[in-house]
Amino acid sequence: MTAEQAGVCEIRPMKNTDAPAAAALEQLCFSDPWGMDEFREIEESRLDRGIAAWADGRFMGYVILRMVAGEGEILRVAVEPSGRRQGIGRMLVAAAKSAAEQENGEKLFLEVRAGNQAAIRLYHSSGFSEYGTRKNYYRFPTEDAVLMEYSLA
């Protein structure tokens, strides 16, 4: 049974108090991690929205969305390794889409490592389509980015 089926996952706006857990998860998930300061700034940001996933009192993941001039960009999505393939990532992406729609967004964009096939499948199944690549976009290791978009209109 997935977290979504069981109804045990709470999706809510990220708070400053989530910063330590988000920064720790960031270290697990990314080779170029954000620091705690970036997560602490999200709650007060005019542009950024953080959305957290909690299950059974545990921080399970987050999505960071930036909204500018009617366009949204998913900057980060991370799910606790023990919680993957349970619908948490899908719920976070859906929450980002909903947040962008509430702010009258027209399009939502993201970049993903070309080698991250699990994430690419998640985004495709969430309605995103590929529209290009950025050569050598990522570091540690160097890798291309797949550019994806979703129309909110």
What is the Cα gyration radius of the chain?
A: 15
123 is catalytic: yes
**What does the alpha-carbon distance between residue 56 and residue 41 come to, in Å, rounded to a whole number?**
26
Point out the catalytic residue in the list 26, 62, 80, 123.
123
Query: Exactly one of 73, 111, 138, 150 is catalytic; which is it?
Result: 111
**Residue 111 annotated as catalytic:** yes
Contacts of 37 (CB under 8 A, 6+ apart): none
Spatial separation of the C-alpha atoms in residues 23 and 27, rounded to whole Å: 6
Question: How many C-beta neighbours within 10 Å does residue 134 have?
Answer: 13
Q: How far is CA 127 from CA 124, 142, 149, in A?
A: 5, 27, 9
Residues carrying an active site annotation:
111, 123
